Structure 1
């Protein structure tokens, strides 16, 4: 795409953005609980539109070259991503569920399930590539030192004679296997020749032989034509991949190459822009700075004279916290400035008096309006509304800046996509003016002091500090005591690596967590059946709760704060894979605080306290960070088993809760726990520590179909018509993605891959390996479901469904009475 195409995409995106901003205000009005479905529908539409905008702004920010446009796009991208997170939070409060049935909304908007995929901004990794490289090199160096030490200890030296004997034995075994295969082929050929000699050859005439050859050849040609026609038909309707797959890959690689070229241009233009910023700042300071300074001084002196003429005394100089001399330069007369300063002092007195009166009134009215307030609170609780957004003002400001500056500018103005020098000068002029104003304020304060002494014989008045606004006392968080004040981050980092708490993360993309969309969610919910989340929903939630928040400090500081997530599901569902994917997509450090990893390390109460302190300190200093706890239920055991008493799995429970409470917006640190037996834990403690609980049930048919198909193709196998993937998806009901992957790897060995050209894959080959694995039985899944519906959100969801059932039963009875 050219720069003009990206500009047109930007223009169309802002048209959509304007429509969405118009829809924001009606959502703030409270809605009664009986209109929950329509309210949820409106929220879902808005959520889907913002997701589409996020995808567009990510493409634009990644590929546009002009540096000033990219700065605006970055603000818009972060604010739209934050708005998506806010809407997700509103959807959870409305649906009382972590997964949402959006199939009906998708159908109405004529969108595909692919539009629901949460786009991960590319700059998360691109803009911190140098930091990640340095951190990776430091980690690799420490790990290599550990490997050298362990290899010296664990591998004893072998004598040369023993090594030669071992190699000879392996080589003779290899030659023996080859000889056996060779002899087997010779015996087969001999047997074939013997059978031909015994049966005798049938003699054909010349015409009979020609007819037989023609039959075979014509039959072969017709079968090939039929197969090709069928192949073309299936390709046309999208049921089979295109045969020119190599050409398609070539086009994709060429497109990726052009994207990389544009990113290189971005770096060049950014360097030019940075040089221009310093040059423009210096030139403005030299050329316009002295005139600005003199003009400001003249205005302030004139203000001094006018105030003295009006009031008979020189005014108080505005404090820096109130804006300093900026109040004078705001096109106001001296009388207006004086009135404003006096009004501020009077307002503070009036507010104090009004507060005292209000308190007295409240005390009198509390007794009278007790019952009325209860009723109002009850009504307010049943009302549905969207919380005020922190990101909408930022989006509005960005939208206005686009309209004022960039809407009508085209490529002909800046064909090389260089910066706009005039816009830059306007921005820098404001900064230079601000710097000079601070200098002038210091000089004029001194001049005012001298004027008072010379004219009024008045000594310097004591400066009154501006009063702080009195309000409700907020509960101040205690500052964490630093237990390691004298140690550097590098030494703590090395200690955690050597102890095994900071681990090298495996590269796993979030898109590798394969699963399909739940197509019948709305149908099930209309039938009063609670739809279970699909693998697609789980991937989407991890992108929203983990990746988007940890990827950007601007998004994290303003988005609804989520410090911890718990993944609950049977073993083999890919919980640890999701943790690795979050680390991969955000470049986060991976800390392992699993109970099994704690055994024998940092013993005692002080040791546990020190460990948690060091982990959270390093995690905050080297953001973003993910702290993973496998078997999270062990930290909250109802009763510790005898075999695990030595491990003492509950020893970091209190310190972990304290450390989590100290995480603030902007601290890109997230605790992610995984468990397959949450029933063994105290539910209150577990739910208090983990703010979001994501339930991961067995995959449904659609997800199993996609799993079989994509996992087989990932092994380098071209899907053939002989392989009935639908039958495999049906038979594997109850098996997890881990089971399916194990069965595929067991069948598709290196030898089997070599035989594919002669013997295509069939579904029956996988059944034997699946049968050896233990599936997830319904009792186990029902037990996990029962536990989930005992969590705070699960309880609310169950109560809502019961209330809806009761209302429907009531309506049905009323209809019968009318009849």
Structure 2
């Protein structure tokens, strides 16, 4: 795609963004609880529109070359992603569920389920390539030092004599097969000649033979033509995969090569931009720095004189927190500056002093009035949106686009050269800010000298209230004591790798977690049936709660804080795969604190404290990081089984909770637990530790169909013509994605792939393996659902459903009375 294409996409994106910001400005006032459905509808509409916006901004940021435009696009991309997370939190609080049925919204907005897919910004992985390569090299060195190797590189090591014996055996077998085939053909030829001699039917009728040959040949040609036409028709209507795979792969390779070339150009332009910035900054300091300093000094001196003439004494110099001399340069009169400073002092004194008794009495009356209203039921619960932290960022970015780029009327096919005027304007502001700090220090000293010389006033004590307050706040905050002050990060990392607490995550993309959308969720809700979420919904939530927060420091700092996630579902549903996918998409370190992995390591209370401290310290310093606990229910056992008492799975429970509590926004560290049997754990402790609990459901029909098709297609698209995918999907109801994957890989061995030419693939081969596996029975699913409705969010959802049922029953009863 050309530069003009991305420019047009950028312009159209800002046009859509302007409409969205207009909607955000004129959102309705808080609505009563009875209008919950319409409120959810508005939230869902904004959520879907921002998803489309994020998808477009990701494409533009990935392929736009001009560095100054990319800086603006990056801020907008992070802002839109953060706004999506805020809307998701709002939806959860209003809908009382982690999964939302938006199929009616898709229909109204004329969208497809693909528009619901949450995009993962490409820069998450691209910007960490070098870091990931260095980390892999360090881990390989450590493992090699302790005598371990990556399981992927491990192979069967044979002695030289054994290898020669195997090769000779294989070669003799190959020659034997060839000799047997040759002898079989000679024997067939001899038998044919013997039969022909016996029958004595060698009278050749040339015309009759020619006619027979022509018939057979014409029939074969016509059959081939008809078959080809049928295949092309089926391919055209999308019933069979495309036969031109080579052409498709070639075009895809060309597109990927073009994208990589564009990314190389981005790096070149970035270097050019940084060089231009340093040159402009140096030139401004050399040419205009002295004049700027003198001008600022003259302005401040003039302000001193005006204030002295006005009040009879020299003013207090503004603190750095107020902006320093920037307050003076804002174009305000000395009187305005003085009144502002007096107002700030009054506010600080009010904060220090206690509240007046009248104010206390008024607050008490207000509280009592509210409580009485709530008791009487006069005040109805209102639904409203919380204030957004990301909307100001989006507004600021859109305004900058309108001023800097839209006003310039950039052509639709622009060059990607750097705008030097824009660099000069930006650098001038930064140089002025640097010089202003130096000038402030000089002018504070000059102010003291003026007081002494003119008013014969001794130097006033410098205000250090703000600094003292900050120090007190910092002291008041709980800090994690550093148990390893004299150790470097490299030594801690090496120790954790040697102990097996840091592991190399498997390379898995979230797109490999196959799942289709739940198309009938709204219809089921209208029929008073609670729909089970699909694996598509689960993948979406993992991206929202895990990937987007860990991938960007800016998003993590301002988005609603999520420290931990629990994935609860039957074995084989892909929970560990999702953990590895989060690490892959964000480039995160993987720490394994599973009870089985901790057995025999860091024994005793002090050992556990040291282990947790080391893990969280390294995780913070080398963020993003994922701390994984497999079989998370064992950490919160109600009663530890006898066979697991030696393992002591509950020993990290207290220290883990304390360490999690110390994580703050900006610490890109997340605890992800996976559990097959959460019912056997203490639900209170589990829910306190894991803030977000995501149910991992069984795959529905659409998901199983996609999974069978995807797995079989990997071994050749032509195989789909011989296998009844729909039949396999129906029969495999109750089996997990892990069971289906094992069945396909077990059938498609190397030997079976060789035999495909003579013996086509049949669905019965997969069914034989599935019959030997145990499905997930209905009792287990019901048990998991009952457990989920005991969690805090599940309880609220269940209570809301019961209240709605009671209201509906009361309404029907009133209608019956009216009829009577």
Q: Report SS of the residue matched to 1:462.
A: coil
Change (3 A) 1:764 1:222: farther
Following superposition, the deviation at residue 605 of structure 1 comes to 1.3
The question of whether the paired residues in 2 share the 8 Å contact of 1:513 and 1:539 is answered with yes
Which residue of 2 is the match for residue 794 of structure 1? 794
Higher alpha-carbon deviation: 515-524 or 220-229? 220-229
The question of whether the paired residues in 2 share the 8 Å contact of 1:720 and 1:761 is answered with no
The question of whether the paired residues in 1 share the 8 Å contact of 2:48 and 2:116 is answered with yes
**Does 2:476 align with 1:479?**
no
Following superposition, the deviation at residue 164 of structure 1 comes to 3.1
Following superposition, the deviation at residue 663 of structure 1 comes to 0.7
**Does 2:613 align with 1:575?**
no
Change (3 A) 1:627 1:193: farther
Higher alpha-carbon deviation: 440-449 or 112-121? 440-449
CA distance in 2, matches of 1:13, 1:368: 50
Higher alpha-carbon deviation: 46-55 or 284-293? 284-293
Taking the TM superposition and a 5 Å limit, the aligned residue runs for 1:242-257 are 242-257=242-257
The question of whether the paired residues in 2 share the 8 Å contact of 1:27 and 1:385 is answered with no
**Does 2:765 align with 1:768?**
no
Higher alpha-carbon deviation: 139-148 or 187-196? 187-196
Change (3 A) 1:188 1:702: farther
Query: Taking structure 1 as the reference length, what is the TM-score of the superposition?
Result: 0.93
Which residue of 1 is the match for residue 144 of structure 2? 144
CA distance in 2, matches of 1:768, 1:196: 46
Which residue of 2 is the match for residue 805 of structure 1? 805
The question of whether the paired residues in 2 share the 8 Å contact of 1:3 and 1:411 is answered with no
The question of whether the paired residues in 2 share the 8 Å contact of 1:528 and 1:801 is answered with no
Change (3 A) 1:222 1:342: same
The question of whether the paired residues in 2 share the 8 Å contact of 1:551 and 1:586 is answered with yes
Q: Report SS of the residue matched to 1:302.
A: helix
Taking the TM superposition and a 5 Å limit, the aligned residue runs for 1:676-687 are 676-687=676-687
CA distance in 1, matches of 2:724, 2:156: 51
Following superposition, the deviation at residue 369 of structure 1 comes to 2.5
Following superposition, the deviation at residue 131 of structure 1 comes to 1.6
Which residue of 2 is the match for residue 311 of structure 1? 311
Deviation by residue 1:497-535 (Cα, 9 ceiling, x = unmatched) = 000110111111110111111111111111111111111
CA distance in 1, matches of 2:797, 2:187: 74
Which residue of 2 is the match for residue 650 of structure 1? 650
Which residue of 1 is the match for residue 229 of structure 2? 229
Which residue of 2 is the match for residue 295 of structure 1? 295
Which residue of 2 is the match for residue 540 of structure 1? 540
Which residue of 1 is the match for residue 556 of structure 2? 556
Following superposition, the deviation at residue 552 of structure 1 comes to 0.5
Taking the TM superposition and a 5 Å limit, the aligned residue runs for 1:651-670 are 651-670=651-670
CA distance in 2, matches of 1:143, 1:536: 37
The question of whether the paired residues in 2 share the 8 Å contact of 1:125 and 1:585 is answered with yes
Following superposition, the deviation at residue 347 of structure 1 comes to 4.5
Following superposition, the deviation at residue 543 of structure 1 comes to 1.1
Following superposition, the deviation at residue 174 of structure 1 comes to 6.8
Following superposition, the deviation at residue 192 of structure 1 comes to 10
CA distance in 2, matches of 1:543, 1:308: 61
Deviation by residue 1:611-637 (Cα, 9 ceiling, x = unmatched) = 111111100100000111111111011
Query: Taking structure 2 as the reference length, what is the TM-score of the superposition?
Result: 0.93
Which residue of 1 is the match for residue 281 of structure 2? 281
Higher alpha-carbon deviation: 770-779 or 590-599? 770-779
Deviation by residue 1:528-572 (Cα, 9 ceiling, x = unmatched) = 111111111111111111111100100111111111111111111
Change (3 A) 1:363 1:470: farther
Higher alpha-carbon deviation: 563-572 or 219-228? 219-228
CA distance in 2, matches of 1:785, 1:190: 70
The question of whether the paired residues in 1 share the 8 Å contact of 2:3 and 2:414 is answered with no
Change (3 A) 1:194 1:90: farther
Deviation by residue 1:37-86 (Cα, 9 ceiling, x = unmatched) = 22112111111111111111111111111111111111000011111111
List alignment gaps of at least 5 residues for structure 2.
Answer: none
The question of whether the paired residues in 1 share the 8 Å contact of 2:515 and 2:707 is answered with yes
The question of whether the paired residues in 2 share the 8 Å contact of 1:4 and 1:411 is answered with no
Change (3 A) 1:46 1:258: same
Which residue of 1 is the match for residue 93 of structure 2? 93
Higher alpha-carbon deviation: 382-391 or 651-660? 382-391
CA distance in 2, matches of 1:118, 1:335: 54
CA distance in 2, matches of 1:520, 1:562: 30
CA distance in 2, matches of 1:724, 1:165: 45
Change (3 A) 1:394 1:526: same
Following superposition, the deviation at residue 415 of structure 1 comes to 5.0
Change (3 A) 1:350 1:660: closer
Change (3 A) 1:103 1:504: same
User: Aligned residues, how many?
Assistant: 813
The question of whether the paired residues in 2 share the 8 Å contact of 1:477 and 1:662 is answered with no
Which residue of 1 is the match for residue 113 of structure 2? 113
Taking the TM superposition and a 5 Å limit, the aligned residue runs for 1:418-567 are 418-465=417-464, 477-567=477-567
CA distance in 1, matches of 2:259, 2:403: 29
Which residue of 1 is the match for residue 12 of structure 2? 12
Change (3 A) 1:191 1:91: farther
The question of whether the paired residues in 1 share the 8 Å contact of 2:4 and 2:413 is answered with no
CA distance in 2, matches of 1:374, 1:274: 61
Deviation by residue 1:646-702 (Cα, 9 ceiling, x = unmatched) = 111111011111111111101111111111111111111111111111111211110
Which residue of 1 is the match for residue 615 of structure 2? 615
The question of whether the paired residues in 1 share the 8 Å contact of 2:510 and 2:539 is answered with yes
The question of whether the paired residues in 1 share the 8 Å contact of 2:4 and 2:412 is answered with no
Change (3 A) 1:157 1:542: closer
CA distance in 2, matches of 1:362, 1:192: 114
**Does 2:185 align with 1:175?**
no
Taking the TM superposition and a 5 Å limit, the aligned residue runs for 1:339-350 are 339-349=339-349
Higher alpha-carbon deviation: 539-548 or 791-800? 791-800
**Does 2:164 align with 1:164?**
no
Following superposition, the deviation at residue 364 of structure 1 comes to 5.5
The question of whether the paired residues in 2 share the 8 Å contact of 1:626 and 1:672 is answered with yes
Change (3 A) 1:308 1:95: closer
CA distance in 2, matches of 1:169, 1:263: 49
Change (3 A) 1:156 1:40: closer
CA distance in 1, matches of 2:645, 2:379: 51
The question of whether the paired residues in 2 share the 8 Å contact of 1:612 and 1:655 is answered with yes
Higher alpha-carbon deviation: 598-607 or 331-340? 331-340
Following superposition, the deviation at residue 388 of structure 1 comes to 1.3
**Does 2:695 align with 1:701?**
no
Q: Report SS of the residue matched to 1:321.
A: coil
Higher alpha-carbon deviation: 745-754 or 220-229? 220-229
Deviation by residue 1:167-211 (Cα, 9 ceiling, x = unmatched) = 537744773587368648966985898699789989996565555
The question of whether the paired residues in 2 share the 8 Å contact of 1:79 and 1:391 is answered with yes
Which residue of 2 is the match for residue 636 of structure 1? 636
Please give the root-mean-square deviation of Cα atoms over the aligned residues, in Å. Answer: 3.1
Taking the TM superposition and a 5 Å limit, the aligned residue runs for 1:707-726 are 707-726=707-726
Deviation by residue 1:200-231 (Cα, 9 ceiling, x = unmatched) = 98999656555544444344333333332332
The question of whether the paired residues in 1 share the 8 Å contact of 2:373 and 2:379 is answered with no
Q: Report SS of the residue matched to 1:567.
A: strand
The question of whether the paired residues in 1 share the 8 Å contact of 2:625 and 2:668 is answered with yes
Which residue of 2 is the match for residue 70 of structure 1? 70
CA distance in 2, matches of 1:367, 1:497: 56
Taking the TM superposition and a 5 Å limit, the aligned residue runs for 1:382-397 are 382-397=381-396
List alignment gaps of at least 5 residues for structure 1.
Answer: none
Which residue of 1 is the match for residue 271 of structure 2? 271
Q: Report SS of the residue matched to 1:288.
A: helix
The question of whether the paired residues in 1 share the 8 Å contact of 2:7 and 2:413 is answered with no
